[in-house]
Amino acid sequence: MAIARFPSIVIDCPDPGALAEFYGAMLDWKVDVSSDWAEVRAEYGQCISFQQVDGYTPPVWPGQALPQQMHLDVVVDDLDAAEAAVLDLGATKHPHQPGTSFRVFLDPAGHPFCLCVN
């Protein structure tokens, strides 16, 4: 029997509402925002939460001076179409692209995430 369940992951950021809107639009998940907390939730229950951190400093990837500590991989059918869509949402394509079956981007708060094809 499991000791716990995995309901969500929490990401630090300067503006929880803005980051929730970004991921909600990218994943087509429901967005719920309060003053210093926000979350996006899939119909099947998976959730990503965002908490406000004063003095937030974004990670610097791929270096370790300010390590990423975590990142999200999301699966897409078409890398080119998905890239255009996340750029329209406010993502930035990272100049360092170490693979061919995925692409690395930074969300609006500077967290790395990858668009991946199977």
CATH value at residue 38: 3.30.720.120
Domain boundary among 12, 33, 55: 55
**Secondary structure E strands in 64-107:** 72-75, 92-93, 102-106
**Alpha carbons 64 and 45: distance in angstroms, whole number:** 33
Question: 100: pLDDT confidence band, cut at 50, 70 and 90?
Answer: very high
Q: Are residues 111 and 70 in the same domain?
A: yes
Q: Based on the domain organization, do 70 and 20 belong to the same domain?
A: no
pLDDT for 5: 72
What is the C-alpha separation between 29 and 107, in angstroms, rounded? 16
Q: How far apart are CA 26 and CA 1, in angstroms?
A: 34
Tell me the residue type at 12.
D
Q: What is the pLDDT of residue 4?
A: 59
Tens of pLDDT, residue by residue over 22-77, are: 999 999 999 999 989 999 999 998 999 999 999 999 999 998 898 888 889 899 99
- 42 with 66, same domain: the answer is no
CA distance 84 to 76: 12
46 and 68 together in one domain: no
Domain region containing 38: 1-55
Residue 64 and residue 116 share a domain:
yes
Quote the mean pLDDT of the chain: 92
The residue among 86, 75, 74, 14 whose CA lies nearest residue 50 is 14
pLDDT given at position 70: 83
pLDDT value of position 68: 82
Total tally of structural domains belonging to the chain: 2
Residue finishing a domain among 55, 78, 95: 55
Whether 50 and 20 map to the same domain: the answer is yes
Single-letter code of the amino acid located at 61? W
Domain boundary among 9, 27, 55: 55
